[in-house]
Chains A and B, each alone.
Chain A
Amino acid sequence: MEQEEDDLLNFDSSNQPDDDFGEVIQDWAVVAQKYQGKKRNTVPKRGVKDAEPLAQESTTYDERMLSEARNTMYEALSKTRRVPVPGNGSMDPLTIRYDRQTGEFYMTQPKGKFLETLGKTDRDGKTVWMFPEEAVFLVERGSCIAKYSDDDSHVLSLEELYSMAFANPGDYEKFMCYSHLKRCGYTIQRHAEYDEMIPLVTEVMVPVLSTKRFQLGHLANYLTRSLSWFRRLILPLVDRIGLFCFNGGLSRYPLLHPQHFEFSRYFRYSSMFSQLQTVFLRPSSHQEVQANQQTKYRICFNIWKPTPGFRKKSPPVPDFQVCVIDVNSTNFPSFEEVRSLLGRCDSHTVKKVERTSVATGPDDFKLKYGEKHILICIIDQGVMNFVRLNDSSFASEGLIWQDQWLQKKKFAPRKGGRKNRRKQ
């Protein structure tokens, strides 16, 4: 059942070219086809819009199209939907209990596939404790009904449930985020910061600076490609000497002197840049960040992509972590807040394609997606949008300029880098 629902959701999303969700017009042909048992192999493309009638008065063409569409809809609707509705006899309703004294949600005699990722099971396995958002999600979805723990006769309405579950400001926004991600198929659990303290000081990783990583592959590549390898060995040496005698400490005209370039001897542009970097390169130096306890940016949920074999007792490192904030009362986080968030979160960016050692040029994936990332769910009166912030370090990619760009073989494709990019 869950699989089916997911499939449908998938379907809707693949149908849209843009990111906006929820604004798709139902195409009954798609649903009808689905229930006819046809297997869909390809993602259908969006066609030309065909909704507008051809003329003011009705034409035969329009009539025919309209009746065809209407018939498809009827056909789709006439099929039985295989979604069980609790309480109508086909299935026993699962009951979530709400304890009025403690304000806790729990389920006795737990069963149901959803418990694989939801709730916290007691040691004896007889009771499953739930967070409010989990309970409300299950009731809203129709998988369960809710009752007071001491009153068996009254089934709680959604309205009652909402008023009890979302007592604190911001709770409802968090629930929105929770249920949206849940319906998209993610596994999602509360993070410790949801209602607890933020760890006081976090260590922030400082990216390691490397002007040029020395790799054996590079060297081999270098030697085999170059015709006059000797020159390649001599040139850097001459360059060093030149730097020392003419451009550096011994010179009467060091860098930033107006006559510097008149009297300097540079043999490669990269050595010019390395001189400039001594003055202008200002890489990060932050070590640790004090967390502000008053901050609105708290990590609320851990999120995992749908993976088979997920165990809620010993979950793996989350794929994403999300903060939920209200747009109208919260500004974009300050730099310190972002640093602190990134320091606190432990979801690492997973790289899909490993760079080969031959690739030159900057590692675009690393620049774009960094090592750590945090999601921020921004909500404006019920409209939801996700933003992903991640660290990046342009300085750690070293010098972008490559001296070989000036070599004579200009028409050959740049080695490695280009091919590699195409693969990605």
Chain B
Amino acid sequence: MTTTVSDRIRLRGKKHQMLPVDTVDLSCFVPHNPVSWAVCLYKVYAGAVPVLPTVRFESGNFFAADWASINKLWRRGFYGKGTLSRSEPSWFNRTKRRLRLDEGTELSSEEIIAQRRHQREEFKRQRQELDALERRYKLEEDSANLARVEKLRHALTETKGRHARSSTPVEEVEIRPEDDVLIQEGKLQNIEVLQLSHTETLFLKLIGCIDIQSEDGPVGLKTAWMQILGLEFTSEDSRLLRFIAYAHYRSLGWCVRSGLKFASDFLLYQRGPPFQHAKYTLRVCGVKEGSMSWIRYSGINRVVSGVKKTMVLSYVTSEWNENEFESIREQMECCSDDHEFALLVADLVSHYRVDEVVYHRWVANRNRE
């Protein structure tokens, strides 16, 4: 997502954390004011009151449906994806604007992109016109007019992308057949949910940052694990390796999101999608799986370098003797307590190592100096 400078400032103005839990805020501390000491002491004593985001579990999907949870999961670490949006759940605001229910809201990334596409089309149309003119003058051997066209073309390319903000296309209010159902009691209903990927759910549940609720009541860590990985996994299970890589980079403070669009497993953002583009894509590789052909890798690299990212091969390696792995797995099967289960998972994870190898295409003519 390309954002203009003003977008970035707007987004940076909001607080974005990396974990959906709170810290105790001691910013009220003033060294020379004893009252503030007392306030701080009380805050430390009381702790941050955690309101964990609630995640619903229905038919194999984990998603957050209420606003508070959605906001928390998105703003604090950019977890999940809006089911009706590209990534940030913005359907509600977009629909509001489409129906002219609220003029004040800011443009969402989808709308900014639509605007940009519109401008690009306009540019192409103008360029086509100039091309037609040029052809005519060439046939007429009219060199004076040809020079003029060349000047016009130059001016057109110069101004390309200049007025990115100003030309908001003014559209008619567009009423669609489904709008009757969407508006109830004069208010727009939010029908969008934030869907969490399995890896995200597992990570958040493991560190105790979300509550999972299903129709039959709360879902514990073990149940979630059973739903996602089952208990028949092997030590080289690709889902397990991906989870380990995910947790590794998350614990380093990177914002890790799905890299499906770039033929990779994950994208690494330094702060998050609103702030800058991801610079790295990760491909999680097990060691024992047969290595792929060069053609596959160079194909992936073409996609990745086409969007100016760096392709990182993340090798998750392990040294197990068979019995050890089996015994942990059996303990996990028998275990009923969530905390014990989490410790077993930690034990499992501790047998793995994550290494990186970076893949670049190299061109002789460009590396001489």
Please measure, in the bound complex, the distance between the C-alpha atom of A255 and the C-alpha atom of B339, giving whole angstroms.
Answer: 9
Q: Is the CB of A279 within 8 A of B346?
A: yes
Residue in B285, B293, B354, B358 whose beta carbon sits within 8 Å of that of A389 in the complex: B358
Q: Is the CB of B208 within 8 A of A259?
A: yes
Q: Is the CB of B248 within 8 A of A386?
A: no
Q: Is the CB of B291 within 8 A of A334?
A: yes
Contact stretch, chosen from B9-17, B65-73, B98-106 = B9-17
B183 adjacent to chain A (CB < 8 Å): no
Specify which chain A residues have a CB less than 8 angstroms from the CB of B135 in the assembled complex.
54
Q: Is the CB of B251 within 8 A of A281?
A: yes
Q: Is the CB of A305 within 8 A of B367?
A: yes
Please measure, in the bound complex, the distance between the C-alpha atom of A280 and the C-alpha atom of B347, giving whole angstroms.
Answer: 10
Residue in A184, A256, A364, A394 whose beta carbon sits within 8 Å of that of B207 in the complex: A256
B155 adjacent to chain A (CB < 8 Å): no
B355 adjacent to chain A (CB < 8 Å): yes
How many residue pairs link A and B with beta carbons under 8 A? The number is: 243
Contact residues, A12-52 vs B (CB, 8 A): 13, 19, 21
Residue in B12, B208, B361, B362 whose beta carbon sits within 8 Å of that of A261 in the complex: B208
A258 adjacent to chain B (CB < 8 Å): yes
1/0 per residue, CB under 8 A from A, across B28-60: the answer is 011100000000000010011010100000000
Q: Is the CB of A387 within 8 A of B339?
A: no
A114 adjacent to chain B (CB < 8 Å): no
| Shortest Cβ distance from residue A276 to the other chain B in the assembled complex, whole angstroms | 4
B138 adjacent to chain A (CB < 8 Å): yes
> What count of chain A residues pass the 8 Å CB interface test?
92
Contact residues, A375-401 vs B (CB, 8 A): 375, 378, 385-395, 397-401
Chain A residue nearest in CB terms to B49: A262
Specify which chain A residues have a CB less than 8 angstroms from the CB of B44 in the assembled complex.
238, 242, 265
Please measure, in the bound complex, the distance between the C-alpha atom of A60 and the C-alpha atom of B141, giving whole angstroms.
Answer: 8
B249 adjacent to chain A (CB < 8 Å): yes
Residue in B31, B138, B244, B355 whose beta carbon sits within 8 Å of that of A231 in the complex: B31
B194 adjacent to chain A (CB < 8 Å): no
| Shortest Cβ distance from residue B224 to the other chain A in the assembled complex, whole angstroms | 12
Specify which chain A residues have a CB less than 8 angstroms from the CB of B368 in the assembled complex.
184-186, 305-306
Q: Is the CB of B361 within 8 A of A269?
A: no
Interface residues on B, range: 35 or more
Contact stretch, chosen from A74-82, A84-92, A283-291 = A283-291
Please measure, in the bound complex, the distance between the C-alpha atom of A406 and the C-alpha atom of B18, giving whole angstroms.
Answer: 11
Specify which chain B residues have a CB less than 8 angstroms from the CB of A281 in the assembled complex.
248, 251-252
Q: A331-B290, A405-B271 are in contact. Are A184 and B23 (CB under 8 A)?
A: no
Specify which chain A residues have a CB less than 8 angstroms from the CB of B356 in the assembled complex.
391-394
B139 adjacent to chain A (CB < 8 Å): yes
Q: Is the CB of A277 within 8 A of B23?
A: no
| Shortest Cβ distance from residue A326 to the other chain B in the assembled complex, whole angstroms | 10
| Shortest Cβ distance from residue B316 to the other chain A in the assembled complex, whole angstroms | 8
Q: Is the CB of B361 within 8 A of A280?
A: no
Q: Is the CB of A282 within 8 A of B248?
A: yes
Residue in A242, A273, A330, A405 whose beta carbon sits within 8 Å of that of B251 in the complex: A273
Q: Is the CB of A394 within 8 A of B19?
A: no
Please measure, in the bound complex, the distance between the C-alpha atom of A382 and the C-alpha atom of B8, giving whole angstroms.
Answer: 48
Q: A331-B292, A332-B297, A411-B9 are in contact. Are A59 and B139 (CB under 8 A)?
A: yes
Q: Is the CB of B19 within 8 A of A263?
A: no
B97 adjacent to chain A (CB < 8 Å): no
B126 adjacent to chain A (CB < 8 Å): no
Q: Is the CB of A400 within 8 A of B207?
A: no
Please measure, in the bound complex, the distance between the C-alpha atom of A272 and the C-alpha atom of B17, giving whole angstroms.
Answer: 12
Contact residues, A263-316 vs B (CB, 8 A): 263-270, 272-273, 276-277, 279-286, 305-306
Specify which chain A residues have a CB less than 8 angstroms from the CB of B252 in the assembled complex.
273, 277, 281, 394-395, 397-400
Q: A272-B23, A364-B279, A388-B360 are in contact. Are A335 and B248 (CB under 8 A)?
A: no
Residue in B208, B285, B353 whose beta carbon sits within 8 Å of that of A258 in the complex: B208
| Shortest Cβ distance from residue A262 to the other chain B in the assembled complex, whole angstroms | 5
A201 adjacent to chain B (CB < 8 Å): no
1/0 per residue, CB under 8 A from B, across A225-257: the answer is 000101100110010001000100000000111
Please measure, in the bound complex, the distance between the C-alpha atom of A378 and the C-alpha atom of B363, giving whole angstroms.
Answer: 12
Please measure, in the bound complex, the distance between the C-alpha atom of A54 and the C-alpha atom of B131, giving whole angstroms.
Answer: 12
Chain B residue nearest in CB terms to A398: B252
The 3 residue pairs across chains A and B that have the minimum distance between CB atoms: A401-B253, A400-B253, A13-B365
A258-B221, A388-B362 known; 11 other A-B pairs, CB under 8 Å?
Answer: A184-B368, A231-B26, A261-B52, A266-B24, A268-B23, A364-B279, A387-B298, A389-B360, A391-B358, A394-B249, A395-B354
Pairs A–B under 8 Å by Cβ, sample size 17 = A54-B135, A180-B364, A235-B26, A256-B207, A261-B50, A261-B208, A262-B50, A266-B21, A276-B247, A282-B352, A305-B369, A378-B294, A386-B361, A391-B356, A392-B356, A395-B354, A411-B12
